[in-house]
Amino acid sequence: MLSVERTLELIALSQSGDMEAKEILIDENTPLVKSIVTRYRGKNVEYDDLLQLGLLGLVKAVNNFNSDFGVRLSTYAVPMITGEIKRFIRDDGAIKVSRALKTMSYKINKFIEEFQQQHSRDPELSDIAENFGMDEQEIVYTLDSSKMPISIYDKNDDENGKSLFDKLCEEPTEGALVDKLTLRDCIKMLPDRERKLIILRYYKDKTQVEIARILGVSQVQVSRLESKIIQKLKEFMVG
Q: How many CB atoms lie within 10 A of CB 174?
A: 7
For residue 134, the model assigns a pLDDT of 87
Q: Which class for 210: exposed (0-12), middle (13-18), buried (19 or more C-beta within 10 A)?
A: middle
Q: What angle do CA 71, 72, 76 make, to 5 degrees?
A: 75
Residue type, 57: G
How does pLDDT run across 20-43, given as a tens digit for each residue? 999 999 999 999 999 988 888 766
What stretch(es) of the chain map to CATH 1.20.120.1810? 4-91
Q: Residue 232 corresponds to which amino acid?
A: K
- Please name the residues in contact with 84: beta carbons below 8 A apart, sequence gap of 6 or more: 53, 54, 56, 57, 60
Is 3.40.50.970 the CATH number for 4-91? no
Q: At what angle do helices 19-37 and 73-91 cross, to 10 degrees?
A: 60
The correct answer on CATH 1.10.150 for the domain covering 190-238 is no
pLDDT > 90 fraction of the chain, expressed in percent and rounded: 18
> In CATH, which of 1.10.1740.10, 2.40.160.20, 3.40.50.720, 1.10.10.10 is domain 99-145?
1.10.10.10
Q: Is the pLDDT of residue 214 over 80?
A: yes
Q: What is the largest CA-CA distance in the chain?
A: 70
Q: Each residue of 80-131: pLDDT tens digit?
A: 898 888 888 776 544 455 677 778 888 888 898 889 888 888 888 888 989 9
Tell me the average pLDDT of the chain: 79
How far is 160 from 152, CA to CA, in rounded Å?
A: 15
Per-residue model confidence (pLDDT) at position 109: 85
pLDDT tens digits along 154-200: 555 455 555 555 554 555 555 555 566 677 778 888 888 998 998 88
pLDDT of 145 > 50? The answer is yes
Q: What integer pLDDT is reported at residue 83 of this predicted model? A: 86
**Higher pLDDT among residues 69 and 131, named by residue:** 131
- Segment holding 64, helix H or strand E: helix 47-64
Residue 26 pLDDT:
92
The reported pTM is 0.41
Domain with CATH 1.10.10.10 in the chain: 99-145
For residue 218, pLDDT over 50 is answered with: yes
Q: Rounded distance, CA 146 to CA 142, Å?
A: 7
CB of 209 closer than 8 Å to CB of 140? yes
